[in-house]
């Protein structure tokens, strides 16, 4: 959005004109200024045209908004390590910074770090940014990084990123503005991992998270778990640009209808996660825009391979063929989804394997496979829950397809309450819901390796594990792409996880709210909208 006429005008002129436009100078006054600067009249007119247009899209300072997410409760936290809901991500990204942050292609950009250096992907030297202060006025330094990273490894903290952090062997201060991180094994993706939400940097020694003391664009004025938070502009923010808004009040409205109505009535300026069925209503209302993000989260069908009926490969393949992905995309998601291919790496990822043939909807083939499996005629339970987004509707569609070939699926709807600890990973056939992860490595090591904590289908493949470790070490991207491509193929063919579609997240906002764009890290601009948006008019 930066005006591109800097080349024509001297910086001083740009600043003067920009300031004049902001203060409401008329066109005649501006022309006068340009002409006085020695520019020809025709040229001045052109420049001015593009200038006013560009400045119309140029961030404006000031104003405050109310924004509503979709999940909130007493678990709401300002502790980056414990974040679990989108609401936490929104708050923490506005109060804290990470060493790196992830851009729209999931590549790491330097934030509190100035550089990451390594020779072997095991020992990393991280240079830190100078002159950054926390909200309480103290200076940011290596001790804060050491403290923030080590916290995750302490089980008593209850960090959500513990399994990721366990690969960090040691973090130590190695200079006034430098830390050294030694990993337990090589991982070329460290700068990406440290750009994820849970690794935001807190002040060394912080144990009380009733308020937030970070380096972020906003200061925490008020925070009540399950109620709301009020963030006010950090005047000393180390990034010169933002934030533009004076204040952001954030809370969650769990009911989707109520959320949309709150937007339409003008009570809030931005809402997260809109049902595709509400998009028409929002468009009709006129003064609202939609923000669609396909980040790679999915609801998947898990068939345990170590127990009946998933222990029969014919059955697993038959079920995968029975998923009518196009129908799921259109009927359930109203088109706001992308057909997936039973492997977790989304097309936005640079290691996505585009050559893998798409598994079709093929009831006939499923029927012949099923005939071999001796399962036809039995009633097979499928566990679904509102906890796994849209899984009940998916189960109903699958049940219909299965009925056509004589397979009787018994949908067991179970409470969302306690679903993840009681049914997921336990029931022979159930649904899961996976949030996007920044790297193929994280996806596979969390979900697919033999010892993965969330090995959804209890799939064990030594070859898979081996290739993954090699890919992690490999620093040649072409070779990595090949390796990850092979892993995707294996997951697609052998695992008991069926991934029908990648779900698009839809947010909606007042047209006056500018600066929003989709980010691969999640909805609401990777949950980090506060710092990047401004109010128009």
CB-count burial class (<10 Å; 0-12, 13-18, 19+) for 38: exposed
Q: Is 27 in the site for other proteins (CB under 8 A)?
A: no
**The one segment of 167-175, 180-188, 220-228, 523-531 that binds other proteins by CB under 8 A:** 220-228
Q: Is 521 in the site for other proteins (CB under 8 A)?
A: no
Q: Is 33 in the site for other proteins (CB under 8 A)?
A: no
Q: At what angle do helices 41-56 and 11-22 cross, to 10 degrees?
A: 60
Contact of 209 with 195, CB cutoff 8 Å? no
CB of 345 to other proteins, least distance (A): 19
Whole-angstrom distance, CA of residue 260 vs CA of residue 285: 11
Q: Cβ closer to other proteins: 44 or 384?
A: 384
Contact of 406 with 399, CB cutoff 8 Å? no
For 53, the token pair is 């247009």
Q: Is 331 in the site for other proteins (CB under 8 A)?
A: yes
For 92, the token pair is 């923490």
CB of 467 to other proteins, least distance (A): 23
For residue 367, the SS3 value is: helix
Would you give the end-to-end CA distance of the chain in angstroms?
A: 17
CB of 166 to other proteins, least distance (A): 9
**The one segment of 47-55, 114-122, 142-150, 266-274 that binds other proteins by CB under 8 A:** 266-274
**The one segment of 18-26, 35-43, 45-53, 222-230 that binds other proteins by CB under 8 A:** 222-230
Which positions from 140 through 199 interact with other proteins, judged by CB under 8 A? Answer: 154-163
Q: Cβ closer to other proteins: 438 or 515?
A: 438
Whole-angstrom distance, CA of residue 13 vs CA of residue 161: 49
Binding mask 363-402 for other proteins (x = CB under 8 A): ---------------------xxx-----xx-xxx-xx--
Which positions from 67 through 86 interact with other proteins, judged by CB under 8 A? Answer: 68, 73-77, 82, 84
State which of residues 15, 56, 254, 308 lies at the interface with other proteins (CB under 8 A). Answer: 254
Exposure string of 267-304, with b = 16+ CB inside 10 Å and e = fewer, is: ebbbbbbbebebbebbeeeeebbebebbbbbbbbbbbb
Nearest to 512 by CA among 242, 293, 276, 268: 268
Which positions from 424 through 463 interact with other proteins, judged by CB under 8 A? Answer: 424, 453-454
Q: Beta strand 408-414 with 379-385: parallel, antiparallel or unpaired?
A: parallel
CB of 7 to other proteins, least distance (A): 48
Total number of residues that touch other proteins (CB under 8 A): 74
Q: How far is CA 267 from CA 67, 258, 259, in A?
A: 9, 11, 10
Whole-angstrom distance, CA of residue 41 vs CA of residue 27: 13
Q: Is 45 in the site for other proteins (CB under 8 A)?
A: no
**The one segment of 23-31, 181-189, 254-262, 356-364 that binds other proteins by CB under 8 A:** 254-262
Q: Is 335 in the site for other proteins (CB under 8 A)?
A: no
Using CA of residue 83, residue 87, residue 92, residue 97, what is the dihedral sign? positive
CB of 304 to other proteins, least distance (A): 17
Q: Cβ closer to other proteins: 159 or 439?
A: 159
CB of 91 to other proteins, least distance (A): 13
CB of 500 to other proteins, least distance (A): 15
Q: Is 334 in the site for other proteins (CB under 8 A)?
A: yes
CB of 255 to other proteins, least distance (A): 5
CB of 371 to other proteins, least distance (A): 23
Q: Cβ closer to other proteins: 161 or 179?
A: 161
Contact of 180 with 125, CB cutoff 8 Å? yes
CB of 123 to other proteins, least distance (A): 26
Q: Is 264 in the site for other proteins (CB under 8 A)?
A: yes
Q: Cβ closer to other proteins: 48 or 434?
A: 434
Binding mask 108-137 for other proteins (x = CB under 8 A): ------------------------------
The DSSP element (H or E) to which 101 belongs, if any, is strand 100-102
CB of 66 to other proteins, least distance (A): 9
Write out the DSSP string of 106-158: S-EEESSEEEEEESSSSEEEEEEPSS-B-TTSPBP-HHHHHHHHHHTT-GGG-
Whole-angstrom distance, CA of residue 113 vs CA of residue 149: 14
Q: Is 422 in the site for other proteins (CB under 8 A)?
A: yes
- In whole angstroms, what separates CA 25 from the centre of its chain? 41
Whole-angstrom distance, CA of residue 69 vs CA of residue 252: 4
């Amino acid at each position: 959005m930066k005006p591109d006429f800097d080349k024509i005008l001297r910086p001083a002129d740009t600043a003067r004109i920009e300031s004049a436009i902001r203060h409401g100078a008329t066109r005649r006054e501006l022309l006068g200024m340009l002409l006085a600067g020695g520019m020809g009249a025709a040229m001045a007119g052109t420049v001015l045209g593009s200038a006013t247009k560009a400045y119309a899209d140029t961030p404006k300072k000031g104003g405050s908004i109310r924004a509503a997410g979709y999940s909130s409760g007493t678990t709401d936290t300002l502790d980056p390590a414990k974040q679990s809901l989108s609401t936490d991500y929104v708050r923490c990204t506005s109060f804290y910074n990470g060493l790196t942050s992830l851009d729209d292609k999931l590549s790491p950009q330097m934030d509190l770090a100035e550089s990451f250096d390594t020779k072997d992907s095991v020992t990393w030297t991280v240079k830190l940014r100078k002159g950054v202060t926390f909200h309480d006025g103290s200076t940011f330094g290596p001790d804060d990084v050491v403290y923030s990273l080590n916290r995750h490894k302490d089980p008593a903290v209850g960090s959500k990123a513990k399994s990721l952090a366990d690969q960090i062997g040691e973090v130590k201060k190695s200079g006034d503005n430098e830390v050294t991180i030694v990993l337990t094994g090589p991982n070329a993706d460290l700068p990406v991992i440290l750009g994820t939400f849970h690794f935001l940097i807190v002040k060394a020694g912080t144990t009380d998270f009733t308020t937030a003391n970070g380096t972020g664009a906003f200061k925490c004025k008020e925070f009540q778990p399950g109620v709301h938070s009020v963030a006010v502009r950090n005047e000393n923010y180390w990034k010169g640009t933002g934030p533009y808004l004076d204040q952001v009040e954030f809370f969650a409205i769990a009911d989707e209808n109520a959320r949309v109505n709150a937007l339409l009535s003008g009570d809030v300026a931005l809402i997260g996660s809109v049902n595709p069925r509400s998009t028409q209503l929002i468009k009709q209302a006129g003064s609202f825009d939609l923000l669609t993000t396909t980040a790679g989260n999915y609801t998947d069908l898990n068939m345990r391979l170590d127990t009946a009926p998933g222990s029969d490969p014919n059955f697993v393949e038959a079920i995968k063929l029975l998923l009518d992905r196009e129908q799921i995309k259109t009927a359930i998601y109203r088109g706001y989804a992308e057909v997936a291919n039973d492997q977790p790496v989304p097309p936005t990822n640079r290691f996505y394997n585009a050559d893998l043939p798409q598994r079709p909807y093929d009831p006939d083939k499923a029927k012949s496979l099923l005939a071999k499996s001796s399962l036809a005629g039995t009633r097979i339970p499928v566990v679904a829950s509102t906890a796994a987004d849209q899984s009940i509707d998916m189960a109903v569609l699958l049940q219909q397809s299965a009925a056509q070939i004589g397979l009787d699926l018994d949908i067991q709807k179970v409470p969302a309450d306690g679903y993840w600890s009681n049914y997921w990973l336990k029931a022979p056939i159930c649904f899961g819901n996976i949030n996007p992860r920044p790297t193929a490595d994280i996806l596979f090591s969390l979900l697919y390796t033999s010892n993965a904590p969330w090995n959804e289908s209890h799939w064990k493949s030594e070859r898979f594990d081996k290739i993954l470790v090699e890919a992690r070490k490999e620093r040649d991207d072409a070779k990595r792409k090949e390796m990850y491509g092979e892993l995707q193929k294996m997951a697609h063919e052998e695992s008991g996880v069926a991934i029908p579609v990648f779900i698009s997240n839809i947010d909606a906002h007042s047209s006056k709210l500018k600066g929003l764009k989709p980010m691969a890290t999640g909805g609401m601009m990777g949950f980090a909208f506060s710092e990047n948006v401004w109010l128009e008019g």
